[in-house]
Amino acid sequence: MRFVETAIGSVNIDHVESIRRKEIHGAELRLVSGEKTDALFTYDTLIEVLCPVVPNTTGIQSVEHVTSEDEQSVSLWIQPIVAWRITSTLPLGILPNGETAENLLFPDGRVQRPTGEEFPSTDAFLAAYQF
């Protein structure tokens, strides 16, 4: 079950019948009981939170660069993407800790940044961060 915080407390999203954008930064929820309440999120944030989540079966992983404490070397930190949140603009990779993946490592070795910039390999990706 997933819940959303509202003016009347936590509401199970299965009990939300509709969402209406309010004129000034907000959203009104109409519950299946007929009750209306304001969400404690903006409309856009609420819609993103309520987007479908599907398991990751693509083999795509998250990759980040990690700089050593002495800033003399850079290494890779690769984490699995456990699921995808399907939004209206693009799918977002979800990491085991619930955070969103930034850079994507494809099974063929390519790395893609959130900007769309691509690197042919993890070595090329790391080279962009060398001192």
What pLDDT tens digit does each residue of the chain (131 aa) get? 778 888 898 988 889 888 888 877 788 889 999 999 998 888 877 877 778 889 999 999 999 988 888 877 778 999 999 999 887 778 889 999 888 899 999 999 999 998 889 999 999 999 887 65
- Kindly state whether residues 80 and 36 are assigned to the same domain: no
Q: Which domain holds residue 120?
A: 53-127
The DSSP code sequence of the chain is --EEEETTEEEEGGGEEEEEEETTTEEEEEETTS-EEEBSS-HHHHHHHTS-EEE--S--EEEEEEE-TTSS-EEEEEEE--EEEE-SS-EEEE-TTSPBP-SEE-TTS-EE-TTS-EESSHHHHHHTT--
- Kindly state whether residues 120 and 69 are assigned to the same domain: yes
Q: Which of 49, 65, 87 is the last residue of a domain?
A: 49
- Kindly state whether residues 12 and 43 are assigned to the same domain: yes
Give the global pTM: 0.67
- Kindly state whether residues 85 and 111 are assigned to the same domain: yes
Question: Into how many domains does the chain fold?
Answer: 2
- Kindly state whether residues 105 and 78 are assigned to the same domain: yes
- Kindly state whether residues 41 and 79 are assigned to the same domain: no
